[in-house]
Amino acid sequence: MNTVFILLNIVIMLALIGILFYMQKKHVSFSKRVFTGLGLGILLGAFLQIAYQPGSEIVSTTTDWFNIVGRGYVSLLMMIVIPLIMVSIIQSIINLEKSSDLGKMSAWIIGILVATAMVAAVVGIGAASIFNLDASQIEAGQAENERGMALEERLGTVSDLTIPQQILSFIPSNPFLDMTGARATSTIAVVIFSIIVGIAVLGVRRKQPEQAEVFVNWMNAIYAIVMRIVTLILRLTPFGILGLMANTVANTNVAGILELGKFVGASYVALLAMFIIHLIVVGLFGLNPLTFLRKVLPVLGFAFTSRSSAGTIPLNIQAQKNSLGVDQGIANMSASFGATIGQNGCAGIYPAMLAVMIAPSQGIDPLSPGFIIQLILIIGIASFGIAGVGGGATFAALIVLSSMNLPVALAGLLISVEPLIDMGRTALNVNGAMLSGTLTSKIMNKLNIKTFNNPEAIERETSL
């Protein structure tokens, strides 16, 4: 009998895929197809929650099949991330009018990412205080206790790394190993290697222009092929979001959300507040915040469902260049750096909220100026070095809490709502990366204002 229900669920999924495919054939806009996929995924996941017992064999097997659509799409994106980063950054550098622009570009991008992460920390502190969050009010079950012990075990490997050691881990000792994504810092290492290659080409161009020209032609050809692959993969975005969202909703722990609803609510209030701050900053730079929001929404929709900043890099770069009018080189670097540095959600808001929640259990006043200043500074530093220990909210929490001499095991109490909160955190991380690219491009007078203000520019990525 279970097999019949599983087959029925798969047929429903295929029918929904057919709807999205029909919309694509009718040339319905990309953003509409993305949000249709998101809505259909929510409905399908809710159906599985209601029709079957969550965690049952039917739901487990069904979502396993759905993963072919959802997780398969994420895997395709991850497949192209490293080649895209490499060829994009190298091509961007060899096309720079002035080599000095590279340093300015990198400094502005990283500076904006880290600065906004520190602002996000303030927002997280405020949200935790307003909602009066206290870790001692949360009851710990077996899963939470096991999670807490696992975090304490991992703390040893994290706390052993100093900030200089984390920064040192960015440097690629074996770039070919990093191209496989073998290390936690592989993305940053590939970025650094690509920058070095690009700078080397600029040097060769001055002394041996013929050889440089051969390399440039070769790189341009590879870039064209890689971008064509990206185009083919991005066409699958609505289908991927459908599968990802269906599985997320189907496997959501409703009981856990109800029990920790206060923390979930506070988290999303903080995330929404930080989104609004991003839009205010866009307005302060003379750009229309609503135009920015409308053009980044399809990217944020995928980030929300996939919970992968790295997997969103291809879509991020395309949207910055084609929809927002960001300079190609700046778009490449901001998307790459933003996937691991200065993550507003994971490295800013989340550890700040945990620190404020846990502090009272140690007899510490979380609203004392000394505690707040120390927390913001540590988050600022950790948001830059977080990639040195693998990235992500868990490691950010480990570094910040241990640096503040707070117990990390209490972070395990939130295991049941982690996936739900992580969706919003990832969307904010990606929005921060796109913000840094847009602002840097505007500061360096490389933003195509005509493209930014063009309402039809949002569709160019879909006529892919």
Distances (CA, A) of 87 to 36, 199, 224, 230, 424: 33, 13, 9, 12, 30
pLDDT value of residue 409: 65
pLDDT for 89-109, tens place per residue? 888 888 776 667 788 888 999
CA pair distance 11, 287, nearest whole angstrom: 46
Average pLDDT over residues 344-354: 91
At residue 330, φ and ψ (nearest 5 deg) are -65, -40
pLDDT for 306-332, tens place per residue? 888 888 888 899 899 999 999 988 998
Q: pTM of the entire structure?
A: 0.82
Which 8-state DSSP code applies to residue 135?
G
On the question of pLDDT at 399 being above 90, the answer is: no
Q: Which of 416, 381, 413 is nearest to 396 (CA)?
A: 381
CA pair distance 200, 193, nearest whole angstrom: 11
CA pair distance 353, 130, nearest whole angstrom: 11
pLDDT value of residue 388: 41
CA pair distance 248, 423, nearest whole angstrom: 10
Tokens of 205: 């161009």
CA pair distance 177, 108, nearest whole angstrom: 29
Tokens of 373: 């200043």
Q: Considering the chain, what percentage of its residues have pLDDT values greater than 90? A: 35
Mean pLDDT (the chain, rounded): 84
pLDDT value of residue 361: 82
Average pLDDT over residues 454-459: 73
Full set of structural domains in the chain with CATH: 2-462 (1.10.3860.10)
Q: 3-class DSSP state for residue 460?
A: helix
pLDDT value of residue 420: 82
Which of 283 and 78 is assigned the larger pLDDT?
283
- Say if residues 399 and 158 touch (Cβ distance below 8 Å): yes
CA pair distance 56, 395, nearest whole angstrom: 31
